Structure 1
């Protein structure tokens, strides 16, 4: 059974879909359990988000033994008209770089 992460009150700048995609970009072999912990989501929510991303062609996976290896369609254009022309790679370049820079300073990071 999925543990319910601590609730967040208020709005945020990033969607859960962007958070999950950034976690996968950081480690293409990451487990759903670890994505859930990092993004403070349930495993079931992460599974739904991965399914959404795969259905719309932003993500695919291959099975390697008991694990998945994910592939991000970096050249795919973002969905919202306000981001017309921006690619997944342009979004991830900001998010993954930020994660790498703040990870050593985040004492609550789970690995």
Structure 2
């Protein structure tokens, strides 16, 4: 058995893009630094993801004072062909109905 066989798997069901969308839906005025801390990635990675989401039409940004305010386009459809007919609202609604920070027990 190799050392790699003893390591726990690090894959997850949700991508970082999905996690950023969820955090923005929870608080549209969060700083990118706060999103990064909550989901465990770098602030630079969050900046790139928000840019991706903005360019694809999932997120709109509005500058209010020194901060950005984000608004989600929940009717935008998923990008992958098997889900392309479904709005991203479905994912956000499912995840917002549960507190993902507290494990059920």
Normalising to structure 1: TM-score of the pair?
A: 0.80
SS class of match (1:98): coil
Cα deviations by residue, 1:40-88 (Å, 9 ceiling, x for unpaired): 0100000000000001111011000011100101101100011131111
Give the number of equivalent residue pairs.
96
Q: Which runs of 5+ in 1 are unaligned?
A: 1-7, 107-111
Q: How far apart are residue 98 of structure 1 and its match?
A: 2.0
SS class of match (1:10): coil
Higher relative contact order (CA closer than 8 Å, sequence separation 6+): 1
Which residue is equivalent to 2:34?
Answer: 34
SS class of match (1:63): strand
Larger radius of gyration: 2
Normalising to structure 2: TM-score of the pair?
A: 0.84
Q: CA RMSD in A?
A: 1.5
Q: How far apart are residue 10 of structure 1 and its match?
A: 2.1
Task: After TM superposition, list the pairs within 5 Å mapping 1:14-25 onto structure 2.
Answer: 14-25=14-25
Q: Which runs of 5+ in 2 are unaligned?
A: 1-7
Which residue is equivalent to 1:3?
Answer: none
